[in-house]
Structure 1
Amino acid sequence: MKSYLASLMILAAATLAGCGTPPTATKNDVEELSLALQSLDTGVDPGEARRAAEIAYSYSAQLAKQYDVTTSPIIHNTLVNSGVKARGVCVHYAEDMQARLNQENFQTLSMLRAIAEPKSDFRIDHSTAVIAANGDGIYDGIVLDPWRYGGKLYWSATTEDPRYDWEPRLEVLRRKYERRMVKEAAAGS
């Protein structure tokens, strides 16, 4: 009965949210991101920066279509987590964006991953791709977050994102593992 009610609530929420419009980027959007990428380091190739910006915008929209995003990101997460939809939570966007941009074999740019742990009990971890000048870390890079607005690319300098405090993915995963081990050890005592 509970699963039936949960399914009805999900269906109602999805219906009320309506169909989303496909995300689009203007030439200005792409140019701004391209310039931001070029400003990461004097060694960033302008052609690579432009190509990365074009791909980041177009692939964000492509992923939203591929994931069949028709609702807000939170509702879409619920649909994925309940098995109604196959993909489209933030980690999927981050993995797929990183993989797609890595296909370009950039020589002056590199793809990284970041996670922001929740600031309150009501939020969940958020994953994203970060693009940086070759050899730099996430704190010197730019967040590429297509999940936040359901396929419309959000980007900012990693340290200037007003919503999330990003950390290197492996550091967060290591910390979570250590916390889990402490809890398991305490439970076994």
Structure 2
Amino acid sequence: MKSLLVSLMMLAAATLAGCSSGPTATKNDVEELARALQSLDPEVDPTEARRAAEIAYSYSAQLAQQYNVTTSPILHNTLVNSGVKERGVCVHYAEDMQARLNQENFQTLSMLRAIAEPKSDFRIDHSTAVIAAKGDGIYDGIVLDPWRYGGKLYWSATTKDARYDWEPRLEVLRRKYERRMAKEAAE
């Protein structure tokens, strides 16, 4: 049964591959994100903001290519979770984006992580990277979410993202751990 499901997913992926095009960003896209990063705090270095914006856009596209994303993010998740593809779920994008931007050793910006727990039983947790002014938390930062549109960068102020209610990653993980421990204790 599993091989039939995987075969059907691969057929669907091959069919849809011709419909997808690689993510692209314009100069205006990069400039808009750079301005948003600069506006986080008067201390944010404009050169760092510009570099972070350039990397966020170019690396999002690079990750989609590296993960061989040819379908919708949800279908790609299915391919990863069934073992057909190795990487490309949201947590991979978040980890890789955070690691790449951390390589820059920014002095006025910092990388953080956030998780949004599902709003319904039909959804799953979603992870993302957040960039903020040095010393600020996720609620003062900007979500960098390349998973949402299959490698095309989505960004917004963390508190303005209408689709997800972001929380600091460690808080969500701690709460999940406490729930699991309480459940095990009750059994």
1:69-118 CA-partner distances (Å, limit 9, x unpaired): 00000000000011111100000000000000000000000000000000
The aligned residue for residue 7 of structure 1 is 6
Mapped partners of 1:13, 1:186: distance in 2: 43
The aligned residue for residue 186 of structure 1 is 186
The aligned residue for residue 119 of structure 1 is 119
Shift of 1:7: 1.5
Shift of 1:18: 2.6
The aligned residue for residue 62 of structure 1 is 62
Shift of 1:5: 2.4
The aligned residue for residue 18 of structure 1 is 17
Q: Which amino acid aligns with 1:5?
A: L
The two structures have a TM-score, normalised by structure 2, of: 0.97
The aligned residue for residue 169 of structure 1 is 169
CA RMSD, 1 decimal: 0.8
Paired residues, number: 186
The aligned residue for residue 36 of structure 1 is 36
Structure 2 unaligned runs (5+)?
none
The aligned residue for residue 130 of structure 1 is 130
> 1:87 aligns to what SS in structure 2?
coil
Report the identity percentage: 83
1:48-85 CA-partner distances (Å, limit 9, x unpaired): 00000000000000000000000000000000011111
Alignment pair present for 1:156 and 2:135: no
Structure 1 unaligned runs (5+)?
none
Shift of 1:10: 1.3
Q: Which amino acid aligns with 2:7?
A: L
Runs of 4+ off more than 3 Å = none
Mapped partners of 2:13, 2:156: distance in 1: 29
Shift of 1:16: 3.7
Q: Which amino acid aligns with 1:133?
A: A
